[in-house]
Structure 1
């Protein structure tokens, strides 16, 4: 589907021309038909052989309804600008053209209507000259008469060529549907309409408005139920849930995919300095703002209510008093606070080269989650970053982290001499990182990672006094593998629970319980010896075969049970498994 918005001065024949192109009059309200004046947004559609479905959003041309006009044009990528041959160039034609230019609409056709009532040459020349001064320069300017049909074929051809040249939006994009109409249908409930610029909507989908998540019960496009609709398209959604917040200007969005902001930095293009409290128009929304100049056409807008905005969004800033318009390019929908003297000037320098992009975002934050980039609309690119799972780390921060790790490892070794290195999780906490895997990624030689710990060169060893005690225990066990040293013997050797734990982590001893230590291979040797007994065997038989005491054999057998190497039977006898 393709969507085209009309634009032009009041009573220049926009609705009549749309009716001639589609066979349907877009005015819905009785008052509109009675007065011959479009007040609300109107919609009608047709189908052309070469390009398929084409929907028209007909906007009001009266100066009092500029807000409604902007709501209709805001999400639409192409326009039909209508100028009457029997009228001079009028204020709303200029204002609507300025609005299209400010919104970044670059695909348009200009129709000079009523060419049967007056020579259209002057109007053609003036419209061409006015359009040439905007971003719509080069748009076809064609004479047409909706009453006689003169020029309609040429106009259809120009419109078909324009929509065929529009870039195809991504059907997999996150959804953001600006609501331009809400109403209730008996038996169905709440229905909203809008122009879907990209993405896909299906019945059963969840869409959020603010913090409320609504369910899409049904999808219609061009008057027909659809299994799915992808942008660009005019859609009507039947939604259920807490719909109190839904109104014109609301945005239905993919949940958790958009950053809702009340503060945004933008670049303006326009006639002069904006006022302190202009209106911001984006999509179908209009919001009062506070405008703070930063410098060089850069301003910070503080919005009366949060909106889901992304880098690269295009909006209109409007001064209602002077009827002036500015184009507003969203540079940063999540800008830093301006806390100190001169912060605005420094911020303007940061933004002078354009949108922050990935490099700028990383420079500012150091560490960014991929989901945040998605919400802000910042594309993934090569900015020299370190990528660890969903995390992106700036080159500067990655280097700073790598430089800090050695001193933290050394500090930990002094405070905990029995620990064989620093756990990655401990370093992540010290470095204020959200994941131990980020620490793993910045560890540099000669440091190494062993069993989830960062170990210094030569690290992982035991203090000399502890090592002497462990060596003595190992000598004792070498001649009697299951004669675990007594508590007195361990105390004599200076081996407390912390020292024994360090020895176990170093792979020198194995603890079976409080104060019970054997060599690391003791379980394997025990299974081999117990396998020579008649199966099943008693605890006493095991004690005799291993040449040890009940103090040792009981925790040893329990260890083998937990490891699945022996099986304890209901009569308390055991058997070797496998």
Structure 2
């Protein structure tokens, strides 16, 4: 990994900012108020290049209790933490609270730095080190290295740099694959450039010219410029601190806590399923529907805790819950978060996001707890199977599954293939998309579809099959048109059904008239042949043969499809031989006279206006003739 974010944590005035300056030469107290008061109010950032070439971005976070939310805004995206404790004071209230936050966010890689070594003797320093070791026991920093330094004299700084190098070399990288997510911690305007947002890029990569989305507002903007620690760059990768100049946005449209993201991927939500832990040192339980402050990424949002299997969460306990927010939050599965008391403000606990876009659950349902447990601890295959089965329709696009389970598409496809081998799901692929479907549900759909087709063929034996849209509306109304068509193609490839044009039939269905139907079809065809250019009315055919209107409609459909009849207009049919002969006669006439009138066509065919006019209009439609005023001429492609 070539770029790592390191955050400081610790009590006010324990030397975090001075330590960062000793390491980097940068004074991160940039605000006038910070200079005057001597404390860090906002987040400060400084670059550090180690001797092994690794680049660190140091995030100096405030230590004062009143500025904990700024601390939380900065600590969310860090890879390593420096827990700073002053040798002359030891562990203080914000030391403990910052340590709680580090533990809740599971920032497992860190260094404990005892500052102001020059102010105490060796015996006192040893006592403070023992106190700190006792304090971090049972936390993620329990086995972290400890170093004592003096930013004033420089003692211990080189050792701290060495420890940073060792940890940095073994720190796993953030993924630059996948989608952009950058929680925004600062928003400001630069003259001549416009709105600039800053933050740590949690995932993906950003390039100049990219279109990104500001969530939860849904605003789109183009990346005009990028900077990393003051240097203009063409791209930024996950894990880097980056300033993004956004085109077409005003400062007031964006705020800390918003998320800069790949458009159309992340879905803001008012409700998250979580696994929640209440700190052991709390003096009282957390009650169901307690109002809390939720800190996730750089956002602080008020919400209520809905406990799913109990009425109160005791100190030290962990349970599944829902966070119901007063404003939408953008989260991903496995995000860590912290909750603080509404008033007075202090850290209560935190946990892990299990489902970032959750439905409302009924409480005290064992099956819901079991499902959440699978979502949190399940294997990739288990997560994919659950995502497919729990979807409103168990036929879901691969991309949507990836979003639901918080995995990359390639990882989902790998897990899906394992499930396919066990016949638990089926993979249905089109030209540009891939769907996953629950194998059991697919069998049910197949059985129901074949039964429906069997019934349809028995009632309409002369039809090619059922129209696609009719099949979809009758049995697959919940499927999108794209998913439905892919499902039909899947069955057709397996030889279960046959698709011809817009019709679906069983693969073994043969549209062949039985002897009785063949006899009646011959009768109808003979009636049309008796007078080619004065075809019978449908009522005449019904009376002559003795069949119902519905029966005649089915028989006419078949004769049209087999090219025995031609439908010239509504309720007017000609025998195909009549149309062919009429076309030959009119064609011969036009080759000699170049034009023909309605009367001339009527005389030529020895018919009447009632039949000839619709026939001429039909010839116009099929581009055999072209009407010019009251006459017809041969259709010409050049003229058409």
Name the TM-score class by shorter chain.
Answer: 0.7 to 0.9
The residue correspondences of 1:207-226 to structure 2 (distance < 5 A) are 207-215=213-221, 216-226=223-233
The residue correspondences of 1:244-323 to structure 2 (distance < 5 A) are 244-271=252-279, 273-275=285-287, 276-295=290-309, 297-319=319-341, 321=344, 323=346
Indicate conservation of the 8 Å contact 2:213/2:219, yes or no. yes
Indicate how the Cα distance of structure 1 residues 508 and 100 shifts in structure 2: closer, same or farther if over 3 A, else same. farther
Indicate how the Cα distance of structure 1 residues 464 and 316 shifts in structure 2: closer, same or farther if over 3 A, else same. farther
Indicate conservation of the 8 Å contact 2:532/2:574, yes or no. no
- Picking from 484, 492, 503, the partner of 1:453 is 503
Indicate conservation of the 8 Å contact 2:397/2:434, yes or no. yes
- Picking from 364, 367, 381, the partner of 1:346 is 367
TM-score between the two structures when normalised by the length of structure 2: 0.77
What is the rounded CA distance, in whole Å, between the counterparts of 2:446 and 2:61 in structure 1? 59
What is the rounded CA distance, in whole Å, between the counterparts of 2:361 and 2:513 in structure 1? 52
2:453 is matched with 409
- Picking from 72, 75, 86, the partner of 2:74 is 72
1:437 paired with 2:437, answer no
CA RMSD of aligned residues (A): 3.9
What is the rounded CA distance, in whole Å, between the counterparts of 2:445 and 2:6 in structure 1? 52
Indicate how the Cα distance of structure 1 residues 88 and 446 shifts in structure 2: closer, same or farther if over 3 A, else same. closer
Indicate conservation of the 8 Å contact 1:257/1:374, yes or no. no
Indicate conservation of the 8 Å contact 2:276/2:321, yes or no. yes
**Structure 1 or 2: larger helix share?**
2
1:134 aligns to what SS in structure 2?
A: coil
1:235 paired with 2:242, answer yes
Indicate conservation of the 8 Å contact 2:187/2:251, yes or no. no
Of residues 7-16 and 214-223 in structure 1, the stretch that sits farther from structure 2 once superposed is 214-223
- Picking from 496, 500, 511, the partner of 2:556 is 500
User: 1:62 Cα deviation (Å)?
Assistant: 1.6
The residue correspondences of 1:393-404 to structure 2 (distance < 5 A) are 393-404=437-448
Indicate conservation of the 8 Å contact 2:188/2:251, yes or no. no
Indicate conservation of the 8 Å contact 2:201/2:239, yes or no. yes
2:327 aligns to what SS in structure 1?
A: strand
2:180 is matched with 175
2:387 is matched with 361
Indicate conservation of the 8 Å contact 1:172/1:199, yes or no. yes
The residue correspondences of 1:407-556 to structure 2 (distance < 5 A) are 407-413=451-457, 419-430=463-474, 431-432=476-477, 433-435=479-481, 436-440=484-488, 441=490, 447-456=497-506, 457-458=508-509, 460-461=511-512, 467-473=518-524, 485-487=535-537, 490-491=541-542, 492-493=544-545, 496-497=552-553, 499-505=555-561, 509-514=565-570, 515-519=572-576
The residue correspondences of 1:122-201 to structure 2 (distance < 5 A) are 122-128=127-133, 130-131=135-136, 133-201=138-206
Indicate how the Cα distance of structure 1 residues 105 and 518 shifts in structure 2: closer, same or farther if over 3 A, else same. farther
What is the rounded CA distance, in whole Å, between the counterparts of 1:486 and 1:268 in structure 2? 80
The residue correspondences of 1:50-129 to structure 2 (distance < 5 A) are 50-118=52-120, 119=122, 120-128=125-133
TM-score between the two structures when normalised by the length of structure 1: 0.85
User: What residue ranges of structure 1 are gaps of 5+ in the alignment?
Assistant: none
The residue correspondences of 1:372-411 to structure 2 (distance < 5 A) are 372-379=400-407, 380=412, 381-382=415-416, 383=419, 384-388=425-429, 389-411=433-455
What is the rounded CA distance, in whole Å, between the counterparts of 1:163 and 1:524 in structure 2? 89
2:312 is matched with none
Indicate how the Cα distance of structure 1 residues 484 and 171 shifts in structure 2: closer, same or farther if over 3 A, else same. farther
Indicate conservation of the 8 Å contact 1:398/1:442, yes or no. no
1:26 aligns to what SS in structure 2?
A: coil
Of residues 412-421 and 94-103 in structure 1, the stretch that sits farther from structure 2 once superposed is 412-421
What is the rounded CA distance, in whole Å, between the counterparts of 1:394 and 1:280 in structure 2? 36
